[in-house]
Structure 1
Amino acid sequence: MSEAAVWAALADVKDPEIPPVSIVDMGMVHRVLVQRGDTGIVRVRVEIVPTFVGCPALGIIRRDVVSRLRALDGVGEVEVDFVLDPSWSSDRITPEGRERLRSFGIAPPPCASEARPLISLAEAPACPYCGSLDTHLENLFGPTACRSIYYCDGCHQPFEGMKAI
């Protein structure tokens, strides 16, 4: 059992709130440790950085990680620890994750080099459906603390935008 095999398996674990995006895509997996015991049984420890400390989906993520990794040959024990240092930021989202967010209808957050202060909300993200920049903020508060609601004046679609953190 290799660390690479564990990372590949973790890429199958989906974010419970955004199914096309994995916890690896979201940059939530901080560290993977693989240890082979004297009996040949493999112990895997996964450190996960929550996107939000009070996230109600952490129990689901733990369950899904344990279930997926126990399905690997030779894995006997799986430990999942949620760590707060380093803290999660939207810069941890992979390029694939950003594209998957877009394909799900969520405008990905800008990278740190592109981020603007919250006061500059007039600069809404591009529409994930048509790519138009003719968009505007409808509501700062979306279905979760990390998303806002926008409207595209190009294709007339409402969409969610992930906040830069």
Structure 2
Amino acid sequence: MTAAPITTEQVWTALAAVPDPEIPVVSVTDMGMVRDVTVVEGRVTVTFTPTFSGCPALHVIRDSIGEAVRALGAAEVEVRSTLTPPWTTDWIQEDARERLRQYGIAPPSPTGDLSLISLDPEPTRCPRCGSFNVRMTGSFGPTLCKRLYVCDACREPFEGFKSV
């Protein structure tokens, strides 16, 4: 008895369970990193865009994607990374933004039509109490994609995603 062929939908479902290695409450699909999935005669190709070109978790993401697809029984798996178009925080799914907030990370503001990264931080709301009475304490957090803040209303420190 031969196994049923793997479908594109099955691959997308499997990828939705692959957590972002730095923020486990969201997946690589929640973050908008997976750009394309193709399935041709049992061969699966997944193309993803890392959040930053120098992302230290790039290899972990690539390996996790490959493992998730191989677990479906794919005969061959190719995981490609691309930097074009560059990832933007606008690709983060709405429900993932709320999970980021609940996790204690201020989600990014929409970038809209801006083509450049702004050096001035956008207004940031405390993910714990909702106040805009916050101050940035560090331009770079534990990862390049985040800044460090302290809320002057509730006095809690938190991380905030940079909008790119």
Task: Please indicate, yes or no, whether the TM-score normalized by the shorter chain is above 0.5.
Answer: yes
Q: Is the 8 A contact 1:124 1:150 kept in 2?
A: no
Sequence identity of aligned pairs in percent?
49
Structure 2 CA distance, aligned partners of 1:35 and 1:100? 34
Partner of residue 61, structure 1: 61
Structure 1 CA distance, aligned partners of 2:113 and 2:139? 19
SS in 2 for 1:21: coil
Structure 2 CA distance, aligned partners of 1:118 and 1:99? 25
More strand by share: 1
Q: Give structure 1 regions of 4+ aligned residues with deviation exceeding 3 angstroms.
A: 113-117
Q: Is the 8 A contact 1:32 1:46 kept in 2?
A: yes
TM-score, normalization by structure 1: 0.89
Q: Aligned Cα RMSD in Å?
A: 1.7
Partner of residue 77, structure 2: 78
- Deviation readout 1:74-104 (Å, 9 max, x if unpaired): 4111110001111111111111221121121
Q: Which amino acid aligns with 2:144?
A: A
Aligned length: 157
- Deviation readout 1:110-138 (Å, 9 max, x if unpaired): 0123989433x3x5411111112221111
Q: Which amino acid aligns with 2:146?
A: R
Structure 1 unaligned segments of length 5 or more: list them: 37-41
The correspondence of residues 71-110 of structure 1 with structure 2, limited to 5 A, is: 71-72=71-72, 74-110=73-109
1:20 equivalent among 16, 25, 33 = 25
Partner of residue 13, structure 2: 8
Structure 2 unaligned segments of length 5 or more: list them: 1-5
